Amino acid sequence: MTTPAIVARPASRPQPPIQAEPAWTVDAVLALFELPFADLVFRAQEALRTHFDPNAVQRSTLLSIKTGNCSEDCGYCSQSKRYQTGLETQRLLSTEEVLAAAKAAKAQGAGRFCMGAAWRGPKEKDMAAVAEMVREVKALGLETCVTLGILKDGQAEALQAAGLDYYNHNLDTAPEYYGDVVTTHSYQDRLDTLQSVRAAGLKVCSGGIVGMGETRQHRAGLIAKLASLDPPPESVPINNLVPIPGTPLAGSEPVDIFEFVRTIAAARITMPRSYVRLSAGREQMNEAEQTLCFLAGANSIFYGDQLLTTSNPRADGDNALFEKLGLRGV
């Protein structure tokens, strides 16, 4: 009887430890802003190409499902009832109305459908209707996102059970500048909502607004705060303020396009695995300026003719720009 040969098993190769993202302080992010422009964009491209297809851009369509008459005093927002902006208020849409908009968005090539309601936070009586919207939109094969304001206990879990993918709640700006923009709810309120969203197993969409009178240090502070969330948001919208007549920020001076692009690049470098969305204000940019943003690491846009209350570049214009640049929507 032959004794079977003993086959030596190769020693298991030790696995490298999971590398945590670096801790981004305000000073560290500020140092990124101060790099020569080409060096900054090069670093942002490196970060983008490490984690994403650099020629794929995620497309989201945004729908206001309840417009105006909001109790809050966000200084940039046309939907606050404290300001006279001429906005026509609108009740909560029906599921049928939302579903029709979602089908149209999908037909145009959107991959994610975002629904926003002008509330301080949803009342319990509204949650069943929103959950139904989420379920129906999800059934179309679209990713789903909602922005409903500050969430109460159990509401994030209810949205998760309905099939929600992302919850949007922006930090807006740096903690030390926040009180110049909003006074009716605190920065901690925003962080608490993001924590409850994470605890419910939802993905986080959180970013901010550039051009509200903040300094470069404030912009660096916003990016550092977002990057220090554990984990950072999966989706990071960077908005360029669209000044709305009647709001406190109506007279804000526009931010230089290169400073805006630096903000995009800093977000990409500090949150390399996140989608960085070129969001509000894109209609005011020409094709070359938008292209700079894509080069700096933006790989998501709002797609469609309308945001919540402001206009957005037409889909056919976006398609033409994508063709020129060799980009594809996902």
Instruction: Evaluate whether 149 touches 119 at the Cβ level (below 8 Å).
Output: yes
Burial state string for 32-51 with b = 16 or more CB within 10 A and e = fewer than 16: bbebeeeebbebbbebbeee
Q: Is 145 a catalytic residue?
A: yes
Give which of 240, 234, 241, 284 is closest to 261, Cα–Cα. 240
CA–CA distance, 60 with 54 (Å, rounded to integer): 17
Cβ neighbours of residue 19 closer than 8 Å, sequence gap 6 or more: none
Distance in Å from the first CA to the final CA of the chain: 63
Q: Is 74 a catalytic residue?
A: yes
Which of 43, 59, 219, 277 is flagged as catalytic? 277
The first and second tokens of residue 44, run together, are 């942002």
Which of 112, 190, 205, 219 is flagged as catalytic? 205
* Identity of the amino acid at 102: A
Instruction: Evaluate whether 246 touches 273 at the Cβ level (below 8 Å).
Output: no
CA–CA distance, 65 with 90 (Å, rounded to integer): 8
Q: Residue for token digits 């000044």?
A: 243
Q: Is 293 a catalytic residue?
A: no
Which of 43, 70, 219, 262 is flagged as catalytic? 70
Which of 59, 112, 114, 293 is flagged as catalytic? 114
CA–CA distance, 176 with 25 (Å, rounded to integer): 14
Which of 145, 219, 282, 293 is flagged as catalytic? 145
Instruction: Evaluate whether 154 touches 123 at the Cβ level (below 8 Å).
Output: no
Q: Indicate which residues carry an active-site annotation.
A: 70, 74, 77, 114, 145, 205, 277
